[in-house]
Every structure is written in C-alpha cells, then in structure tokens.
A = this chain, B = another copy of it.
Amino acid sequence: ALLGACGSHPNPPASAPKTTAEKPLNQPPRPMTLVRHGRKVTITMYAEETKVQIAPGVTFPAWTFDGTVPGPVIYLKQGDDVSLTLHNLDPRMPHSIDLHAALVAPNQNFTPVLPGQSKTIHFVASVPGVFMYHCESSPMPLHIAQGMYGMAIVTPPGQKPPLYTLVQSEFYKPNNLNAVLTAQPRYVVFNGSADRYVQNPLPAPLDKPFTIAVVNAGPNEISAFHVVGSILRDVQDTGNPQNHLYDVQTITIPPGGGALIHLEFTQPGSYSFVSHAMNQFDRGAAGIFDVKRQ
C-alpha cells in the first residue's frame, strides 16, 4: 500500500485513481479492546465504514478505526510489549495501521489488511510520547481525510496520562481525493467535530497544573495551538520528556506531529483553546476549558 501510494505520485492529483464507493456504509462502531498482563498489552482494533457527526447537524461517511473519528486513544506505558491486531471489517477496501510509536519495518507491519482479513503486529513501546496513528493504505491522503487516525500515548515511568487528549484534523468533501489535495477544508476540528467543546466545554481545575496531549492529524494543515487567556507553561515536542519549551503563547504542530502541553489556570472562567490560524479557528478549531475550583 505504501509503495502502491507512492507509485501513484507521478500522476497529477486530479487524475489519481478514485476509490470512491457509490453508497456509504454505516457499520456499527466496534470498540477497541486493550488487555494488559504485566508488560504484555494486547490490542484489538477494527477498520469500519461508519457515519459520524463532524459539525452540528452535519454527518460524514467516514472510514474509521473502531467506528469513531478520531479512533480511540491508545494508552501505553514505556516498555510495554504490544501485540496489536487490526480486523478489517470494511467489505470494500484494504486498510492498515501505522503507529508513530512503533519503531518497526513498515513494509512488514503497516501493510494493507484486505476486507474480512486481520493482521497482528508486534512492537515494544520503547519511546515515550504523544503519537499519531493512521491508516496508510493507498491513497493515504484520502484514508486520512476520511477519518482513519488517532492518538497513541506512551507514558514514561512515574508520569500520569494527560487530563485531555485533542486531535486536530480537517474535513474535506467526502471521498474525494482531488478535494483533499487541492481544496480548502470545510471544517477544522478538535476530536472530530467542529466546536464540540464550545457547546460542551471541558471541565478543568483551578490552581492545579495538568497536562493535555495534542496531535495534529492533518491531512494538510499546520496547527497554531493556543489557549486564550493562558500560556503553554511547558510544551514537550512529541511528548518527549527531554524536550521543553517554556511559557509559549502559541505552538506550531505539523500534520503528523504532537505535543504534551502543561497548563495551569489561576482564575475561574471560560478559556478557549484554538488554532490561532484564523481560517482554521473559523472552521471549527475551537473549544473551551471551563475552569472551576474542584
């Protein structure tokens, strides 16, 4: 699939092969399972075509991990020995999973899983951080634009998982590779739906430091992550404990990138988190932290 996608690059985008299916499916979401025995972690995930809501009143015929966009957050601990099985429940096309946390040969591990088939990959979560995962089947830009991405978090010893996880991503005209490659996004969202946390703010503590993990799934745009009325006390690129930027107002997160961000609020109130790129903000890249004494 990777080579397949790359083999298609000499064609200009407009003539790229369409994988358009005539009629969207709406397969029932099938949740990920994650079972831990000591350091052994066994994960089972499902590729499915499922309708999701991407803005108030707007549905999208998505290709998904486990029936949601983004897919589920995969919580791991540094050193975990992971076996991950992807079942492709989608009857119509191959899918695959590429985890940025998995340092493994892509041509052995991130390869397409045919409809009705499954594949198990194995890796040790040796590097701590906040990682994107995504489908890598051809054409990859379309599989990502259709919704096949999520976050994997690998916490180092002694570190708690973040209070919140936010995946920024863009939605284009559905199932249209040309739109993904050449049009402006219709929506830019956190966790799959424009302004979802404007309508349902995220509770956050007062006078108490906490962390959030942010991944930018793209497929195309760079995020300018910012919290109104606050400052990013410590930004750790890729969530790595060795990387620090202190008291940063706005952080650039490229597509395929992520960060662990330390926050602390000292006044109760409503604090928006946004992409400070106004054309992303306006398309839905906004949410609210509702800060109260807890």
The CB with the most chain B CB atoms within 10 A, among A132, A186, A228, is that of A228
Q: Report the separation of the CA atoms of residues A105 and B230 in the bound assembly, to the nearest whole angstrom.
A: 8
A282 touches B105 (CB 8 A): no
How many angstroms from the CA of A255 to the CA of B107 in the assembled complex? Answer: 31
List which A172-213 residues lie within 8 A (CB) of chain B. 180-182, 184, 186, 194-195, 198
Rounded to whole angstroms, the CA-CA distance of A57 and B12 in the bound complex is 12
A6 with B195: CB separation less than 8 A: yes
Which B residues lie within 8 Å of A2 (CB)?
A: 228, 270, 272
A279 to chain B minimum Cβ distance, whole angstroms, is 5
Inter-chain contact A278/B245, CB cutoff 8 Å = no
Are A9 and B249 CB-contacts (below 8 A) given A103-B266, A140-B278? no
Within 8 A of B (CB), among A261-289: 266-272, 276-279, 281-284, 286, 288
Partner of A182, one of B7, B198, B218, B279: B279
Q: Is the CB of B254 within 8 A of A252?
A: yes
The complex is assembled from copies of this chain, and their number is 3
Question: A116 at interface (Cβ–Cβ under 8 A)?
Answer: no
Q: In the complex, which of the residues B102, B104, B258, B277 contacts A254, with contact meaning CB atoms closer than 8 Å?
A: B277
Whether B279 lies near A229 (C-beta < 8 A) is no
Question: Does A145 belong to the interface (CB within 8 Å)?
Answer: yes
CA separation between A185 and B102, bound complex, in Å?
Answer: 32
In angstroms, Cα B156 to Cα A260, docked, is 26
Report whether B276 and A256 are in contact in the complex, using a CB–CB cutoff of 8 Å. yes
Cβ contacts A to B, 25 pairs, < 8 Å: A3-B198, A9-B195, A10-B195, A13-B279, A13-B282, A13-B283, A103-B230, A104-B229, A104-B267, A106-B269, A108-B269, A109-B229, A110-B228, A110-B229, A129-B249, A131-B249, A132-B250, A141-B279, A222-B222, A238-B248, A242-B246, A250-B256, A251-B254, A255-B276, A255-B277
